[in-house]
Amino acid sequence: MGSRVLGFGLGFVMWALGFVSEEISVLRRWLSPALRAAFVKEVGQIRRDRQVVRAMIIPPLLQLLLFGTVMSPAVTDLKLGIVDGSRTPVSRDLIAALAESGSFRLQGIYPSANELGTDISDGLLDAGIVIPSDLPRDVGRGRPARIQVLLNAMNANTAAVSEGYIEGILQGFNRSLAAGGVDAGVRQVAATGAPRRGRAVLHPAYLFNPGMVTTWFLVTGLLGQLLLMNGMITSSATMVREREAGTLEQLLMTPARTSEIIIAKIVPPFLLLGIPGLIALAVLRFYFQVPFRGSFTLLAVASAACVFCGIGLGTVVATLTKSAQQAQLSSFFIFPPMIALSGALTPAEAMPAWMQPWAIVNPIYHFGEISRGALIRGGGFPELWPNLAALLIFALVLMSVSVWRFRQQLT
């Protein structure tokens, strides 16, 4: 599936490059000869550079497919051990409920809690359950029975998720007991105090994501990250290579004005970078099944602003470095901190309080808020305009600095 998507995307980009080149030739009546020649030159240069074309499509789609599939926060197939001190039909029903839930993989039935604890401490198990011998007696008399849950908290997230899974399975088991006419309940040993007759029962309603699909959060944040990274890498690579080849100085000998050269350096890459963006949106919709509930126009404007941020940032990097290796090294020091402080992979609210303000000055953070709000929540401009305004300001500032730096290169 992934290889076919990449192959289709690469072929589509190559076709689009030829299509854009032909369309530019049709715009003769609206473009000046110098600007038209500069446009054709930029598109042809990108089209001939197969490495840049591959960089436009393969890395973004690979990261979107791999990160969206692999980096899911859902925890499944947890290794579970059980000590059955009862060995009765009731305990076997409880063990069957745990094993058939799909969240756990039963590793075995242990003779004692000590052996179970040893395997948990050795990392062979993620969780363990000790069923008391008086389970059938308590259930038969209609009294709450308590079991002991042992969790390997070396990974705190896995331990918390395991506990939540076990609680949900026990709730289902209690409902099955009630359906059979037994007024009893199985509770975890962590509960303290005398059991009460009445109890509050939660009935959660999951808004906007009823299926609790965890990849929706990841891929909508990754989209902005990939748009900015793609714009940054493409713009810096093309400019650095042109300067190394000596063709940047030759532009000064052409009839084109400085403003026309700058426009030709910005507009064709922006149009071409929109093609992988459309492919990424198709991957979100048809591969990850992300719903498109909100305004597509709002998302398109935010995507364009994010691409402009990447082009501006890449141009600044290219003007401050002297070789492709320096540009790549500079990008390495710029992009990872932006990802870490973007809230693309984990919620920004999960960061320490003193680091959260740094997310506000990150364009990827604002794009993530827009994409999640527009696609998943169905929000529109009235709710998302602060993030869109911030993203447009970042694009304007970065493009202004890049134009200023590029003018310095031409003079």
Q: Best-predicted range by mean pLDDT among 161-175, 215-229, 322-336?
A: 215-229
In a domain, residue 191? The reply is: no
Same-domain check for residues 269 and 393: yes
Q: How far apart are CA 174 and CA 144, in angstroms?
A: 10
Handedness of CA 213, 218, 223, 224 (dihedral sign): positive
Work out the average pLDDT over 173-179.
71
* 166 pLDDT higher than 60: yes
Cα angle vertex 401, ends 396, 404, to 5°? 125
User: What DSSP letter does each residue of 321-354 carry, written as one string?
Assistant: -SSHHHHHHHHHHHHHHHHHTTTSSS-GGGS-TT
Same-domain check for residues 28 and 135: no
Same-domain check for residues 307 and 232: yes
* 390 pLDDT higher than 90: yes
pLDDT at 308: 92
Query: How many domains are there within the chain?
Result: 2
Same-domain check for residues 139 and 280: no
In a domain, residue 209? The reply is: no
In a domain, residue 271? The reply is: yes
Which of 168, 186, 204 is a domain's end point?
A: 186
Cβ-proximal residues to 195 (8 Å cutoff; 6+ apart), any chain: 143, 144, 185, 187
Mean pLDDT of the residues in the chain: 75
pLDDT at 301: 92
CB contact at 8 A, 369 and 363: no
Give 363's pLDDT tier (boundaries 50, 70, 90): very high
Same-domain check for residues 242 and 358: yes
Same-domain check for residues 280 and 334: yes
In a domain, residue 134? The reply is: yes
Same-domain check for residues 255 and 395: yes
Q: How far apart are CA 304 and CA 266, in angstroms?
A: 12
Cβ-proximal residues to 107 (8 Å cutoff; 6+ apart), any chain: 79, 80, 81, 119, 124, 125
* The two structure tokens encoding residue 45: 């240069």
Same-domain check for residues 55 and 93: no
In a domain, residue 199? The reply is: no
* The two structure tokens encoding residue 281: 């949106």
In a domain, residue 14? The reply is: yes
In a domain, residue 301? The reply is: yes
Give 198's pLDDT tier (boundaries 50, 70, 90): very low
In a domain, residue 149? The reply is: yes
pLDDT at 295: 87
pLDDT at 316: 86
CATH number at residue 167: 3.40.1710.10
Cβ-proximal residues to 332 (8 Å cutoff; 6+ apart), any chain: none
Same-domain check for residues 388 and 316: yes
Same-domain check for residues 148 and 113: yes
Give 52's pLDDT tier (boundaries 50, 70, 90): low
Same-domain check for residues 101 and 230: no
pLDDT at 347: 76
Work out the average pLDDT over 372-391.
89
User: Domain span at residue 105?
Assistant: 78-186
Same-domain check for residues 330 and 375: yes
